[in-house]
Structure 1
Amino acid sequence: MTNSFWKVLFREIGHSKARFFSIMLIIFLGVAFYTGIRATGPDMSQAATDYYAQQKLATNSVQSTAGLTKSDLAVLHQHRSQLTYQAVNYLDINQLNNNQVVRVAELPTTQKLNRVALVSGRLPRKANEIVLDQQARTGQPKLKLGTTYRIDTTSQLNRQFKRRSFKIVGFVNSPRYVETTDRGVTNVGKGTLDYFALVKPGTLTATVASRIDVGFKNLRHVTPYTAKYNRINRANTAKLKRWLKPQAAKRQAQLQKQAKAQLVPQAAKVQQLAQQLPVNSPILQKAQAQIKQAQARINAISQPTYLYTSRAANPGYSEYHENTQRVVALSTVFPLFFIAIAALICLTTMTRMVAELRIQMGTLKALGYSNTVIGSEFLLYGGLASLLGTLVGVGFGVNFFPRFIAQAYGTMYNLPPISAQYIWTDILIALVIALLCTMGSALIVLRVDLRSSPATLMLPKAPKAGKTLWLEHWHGLWNRLNFNHKVTLRNLFRYKQRLLMTVLGIAGCMAMMITGFGLKDSIGDISLKQFNQLWHYDAIVVRNGSQTAKQRQALHSEKLYHNDLVLKQAQVTVEKSGVAVQTATLSVPQHPQQLKKFVVLRDRQTHRAYQLSNHGAIIDEKLAKLYHVKVGDQLPIKLGNRTAQNVRVAAIAENYMEHFIYLSPAYYQQLFDQHPVYNGNLVQFNAHHQKKENTFANNLLKHTGMLNVTLLSTQKKTSFQMLDSMNLVVLIFVIAAGALALVVLYNLTNINVSERIRELSTIKVLGFYDGEVTMYIFRENLILTVMGIVVGCFFGDWLHTYILQTAETNNLMFSPGIHPLSYVYAAALTLAFSLFVMFFMHRKLKHINMLDALQSVD
Structure 2
Amino acid sequence: MTRAYLKAIRREIWRSKARFFSIMLIIFLGVAFYTGIRATGPDMLQAADDYFAKQRLATNSVQSTLGLTTADIKALQKHRDELIIQPEKYLDVNQLNNNRVVRVAELPTTQKLNQLRVISGRLPKKANEIVLDSQAKVLQPSLTLGSTYRIVSSKAVNKKFTRRQFKVVGFVNSPRYVENTTRGVTTVGKGTLDYVAYVRPQTLKLKVFTRIDVQFKNLIGVKPYTAKYNRLNHTNTTKLKRWLRPQAKKRQQSLQQAAQQQLTPLSQAVTSLAAQVPANTPQLVKLQAQLTNAQAKVAAIKQPTYLYSNRADNPGYTEYHENTQRVVALSTVFPLFFIAIAALICLTTMTRMVEELRLQMGTLKALGYSNAAVGSEFMIYGGLAALIGTGLGVLFGVNFFPQFIAQAYGSMYNLPAIGVQYIWSDILIALVIALLCTLGTALIVLRVDLRSLPAQLLQPKSPKAGKTLWLERWTGLWHRLSFNHKITLRNLFRYKQRLLMTVLGIAGCMAMMITGFGLKDSIGDIGTKQFNDLWHYDAIITRTGSETAAQRRAIANEKLTRSSLALKSAQATVKQAGVGEQTVTLGVPVETQRLNQFVTLRQRQSHQRYNLGNHGAIIDEKLAKLTHVKVGDTLALKLAGQPTKCVKVAAIAENYVNHFVYLSPTYYRETFGKRPIYNSNYVQFTQTSERQENAYANKLLRQRGIMNVTLMATERKTTFKMFDSMNLVVLIFVISAGALALVVLYNLTNINVSERIRELSTIKVLGFYDGEVTMYIFRENLILTGLGIILGCFLGNWLHSHILQTAETNALMFSPGIHPLSYVYSALLTVAFSLIVMAMMHRKLKRVNMLDALKSVD
The residue number in structure 1 matching 2:821 is: 821
CA shift, 1:643, in A, is: 2.3
How far does the alpha carbon of each residue in 1:673-717 deviate from its partner, in whole angstroms, 9 at most, with x for none? 111111110111111122221221121111221111111111111
CA shift, 1:635, in A, is 1.1
**2:793 is aligned with 1:771:** no
Residue 743 of structure 1: CA displacement? 0.2
Query: Counterparts of 2:786 and 2:281 in 1: how far apart (Å)?
Result: 103
Determine if contact 1:514/1:796 at 8 Å carries over to the other structure.
Answer: yes
Contact 1:471–1:478 (8 Å) recurs in 2: yes
**Amino acid corresponding to residue 561 of structure 2 in structure 1:** Y
Counterparts of 1:841 and 1:296 in 2: how far apart (Å)? 97
Indicate the residue corresponding to 1:754 in structure 2: 754
| 1:558 to partner: Cα distance | 6.0
- In 2: Cα distance, 1:553 partner to 1:279 partner: 57
SS at match of 1:518: helix
CA distance in 1, matches of 2:690, 2:183: 24
For residues 481 and 458 of structure 1, the distance between their equivalents in structure 2, rounded to whole angstroms, comes to 39
> Contact 1:136 / 1:194 at 8 angstroms: preserved in 2?
yes
Shift of 1:274: 4.5
Q: Which residue number corresponds to residue 626 of structure 2?
A: 626
Note the alpha carbon deviations across 1:243-262, whole angstroms, 9 max, x for none.
00000000111111111122
Once the two structures are superposed, the pairs formed by residues 497-576 of structure 1 within 5 Å of their partners are 497-557=497-557, 559-576=559-576
Partner of 2:56: 56
Give the structure 1 partner of residue 392 of structure 2: 392
- 1:558–1:696: 8 Å Cα contact kept in structure 2? no
Greater displacement, 441-450 / 277-286 = 277-286
Normalising by structure 2, report the TM-score. 0.99
Structure 1 partner of 2:208: 208
Give the whole-Å Cα distance in 2 for the aligned partners of 1:852 and 1:532.
68
**The 10-residue stretch of structure 1 (633-642 or 265-274) with the greater mean CA deviation from structure 2:** 265-274
1:20 alignment counterpart:
20
Per the alignment, residue 701 of structure 2 pairs with 701
Which residue is equivalent to 1:578?
A: 578
2:298 aligned residue: 298
TM superposition shift of 1:382: 0.3
Letter in 2 for 1:144: T
Listed as ranges, the gaps of 5+ residues in structure 2 are: none
Q: What are the within-5 Å matches in structure 2 for residues 177-216 of structure 1?
A: 177-216=177-216
Contact 1:58 1:215 in 2 (8 A): yes
The residue number in structure 1 matching 2:378 is 378
Do the aligned partners of 1:177 and 1:314 also contact (CA within 8 Å) in 2? yes
* 2:62 partner SS: strand
The 5 A counterparts of 1:584-733 are 584-733=584-733
How far, CA to CA, are the matches of 2:857 and 2:197 in structure 1?
86
Q: Per the alignment, in what secondary structure is the counterpart of residue 245 of structure 1?
A: helix
Q: Does 1:120 align with 2:117?
A: no
Once the 2 structures are TM-superposed, how far is the Cα of residue 551 of structure 1 from its aligned partner?
A: 1.3
**Letter matched to residue 850 of structure 2:** M
Q: TM-score, normalised by structure 1?
A: 0.99
* Cα shift at 1:838: 0.3
Q: 2:285 is matched with which residue?
A: 285
The offset of 1:578, in angstroms, is 2.7
Is the Cα–Cα contact under 8 Å of residues 55 and 114 in structure 1 kept in the other structure?
A: yes
Q: Which moved more, 1:62-71 or 1:680-689?
A: 680-689
Question: Which string of whole-angstrom CA distances, capped at 9 and with x for unpartnered residues, describes residues 340-372 of structure 1?
Answer: 111110110000000000001011111111110
Residues 603 and 609 of structure 2 are in contact (CA less than 8 Å); yes or no, is this contact kept in structure 1?
yes
Contact 2:319 2:580 in 1 (8 A): no
In the aligned structure 2, how far is the partner of 1:277 from the partner of 1:410? 78
Tell me, in whole angstroms, the C-alpha distance in 1 between the residues paired with 2:284 and 2:571. 47
Contact 2:61 2:212 in 1 (8 A): yes
Q: Distance in 2 between matches of 1:628 and 1:784?
A: 44
Contact 1:412 1:722 in 2 (8 A): yes
CA contact (8 A) 2:635 2:649 kept: yes
Residue-pair matches, total: 858
Q: Which amino acid aligns with 2:581?
A: V
The one-letter amino acid paired with 1:331 is S
Task: Tell me if structure 1 keeps the 8 A contact 2:186–2:640.
Answer: no
Root mean square deviation, CA, Å: 1.1
Residues 621-630 or 738-747, more deviating: 621-630
1:97-145: per-residue Cα shift (whole Å, max 9, x none)? 0000000000000000000000111111111111111100111101011
Could you tell me whether the CA contact under 8 Å between 1:566 and 1:682 is conserved in 2? yes
TM-fit CA distance, 1:268 = 2.9
Aligned to 1:168: 168
Secondary structure at 1:169 match in 2: strand
Worse-matched range after superposition: 622-631 or 783-792: 622-631
Deviates more, 1:697-706 or 1:505-514: 697-706
Cα displacement (A) at 1:278: 5.5
Distance 1:687 1:293 in 2: 57
2:241 is aligned with 1:241: yes
| Alignment of 1:839 onto 2:810 | no
Counterpart check, 1:745 vs 2:749: no
Does 1:457 find its partner at 2:452?
no
Alignment of 1:409-488 (within 5 A): 409-488=409-488
Partner residue in 1 for 2:69: 69
Task: Quickly say closer, same or farther: Cα 1:14–1:109, change in 2 above 3 A.
Answer: same
User: 1:143 is paired with a residue of what secondary structure?
Assistant: coil
Question: Structure 2: which amino acid aligns with 1:262?
Answer: Q
Query: Residue in 2 aligned with 1:799?
Result: 799
Question: How high is the sequence identity, in percent, across the aligned residues?
Answer: 72
Query: Is the 1:382–1:438 contact (alpha carbons within 8 Å) kept by the matching residues of 2?
Result: yes
Partner amino acid for 1:158?
A: N
Structure 1 residues without counterparts, runs of 5 or longer = none
C-alpha separation in 2, matches of 1:620 and 1:371: 67
- Structure 1 Cα separation of the partners of residues 558 and 101 of structure 2: 23
Distance apart, 1:450 and its partner CA: 0.6
Equivalent position of 2:146 in the other structure: 146
Conserved in 2, the CA contact under 8 Å of 1:68 and 1:211?
Answer: yes
